[in-house]
Amino acid sequence: MSEIFKIANRLSYIKATENPLSADVGIFEGDEFCWIFDVGADESVPTSLSEIKKPKNAVISHFHPDHMGNLEYVDFREVYLGANTFKYAKRGTVVSEDIFIDDGEKIHVFPLPSSHAKGSLGMEIGEFAFLGDATYATMKQGRVCYNASVLKEEIAVLKNLSAKFFLISHDEKFIRPKEEILAELEEIYSKRDPKESFIWI
């Protein structure tokens, strides 16, 4: 069984693993539902989540297996995902614009432009925003890069969030200050070549 670590009141997570590759799993215990952000791929995660008896909803950040591999092994009332992720999951509610749900606290599920994975989602609750892998780069022609226009859009979305901390999957720190992440992304964006669609890292 995976250990659940507390972040704040009602908010906790299961740490990412490398073998098997499995993303961090966010957990928010609302008044009516337990909200799970990403479900990981480690087979011990469903067992840990089953210990939480409240009915569950899931928000899936993107379609990569380490983030949605356990989807079929946990009983969810509703699954929220992006259109591209829906192609793989073949179930759930597609989120194409910001949605707000009140479940003890305001839950903000939002589309998040990302070079790493098309159709990513984030989930903001109070001072914290789960971002999955959305701030990471991608590979093109064997090189690490960001799509310049997508990165610009992503920075704009992140700046508009009220959260003070961003939760970045697979990051050793996991919980990082919003301003720190924005500074890193803006530094990358500042290196763009106006003649290039991609920023090569």
Whether 201 maps to a domain, the answer reads: no
Pick from 83, 92, 24, 32: which is nearest to 58 by CA? 92
Distance between CA atoms of residues 131 and 128, nearest Å: 10
Q: CA torsion, points 14, 69, 50, 20, in degrees to nearest 10?
A: -50
Whether 200 maps to a domain, the answer reads: no
Residue 146: what pLDDT?
98
| Cis amide leading into 20 (omega within 30) | yes
The residue length of the chain stands at 201
Residue 128, domain CATH: 3.60.15.10
Tell me the whole-structure pTM to 2 decimals: 0.97
Residue with the two structure tokens 């606290």: 105
Domain of 8, in residue numbers: 4-191
Q: Please report, in tens digits, the pLDDT of each residue of the chain (201 residues total).
A: 889 999 999 999 999 999 999 999 999 999 999 999 999 999 999 999 999 999 999 999 999 999 999 999 999 999 999 999 999 999 999 999 999 999 999 999 999 999 999 999 999 999 999 999 999 999 998 999 999 999 999 999 999 999 999 999 999 999 999 999 999 999 999 999 999 999 999
CB neighbours of residue 40 within 10 Å: 31
Residue with the two structure tokens 């070549």: 193
Terminal C-alpha separation, the chain: 38
Whether 51 maps to a domain, the answer reads: yes
Amino acid at 52: I
Number of domains in the chain: 1
Pick from 78, 94, 82, 95: which is nearest to 30 by CA? 78
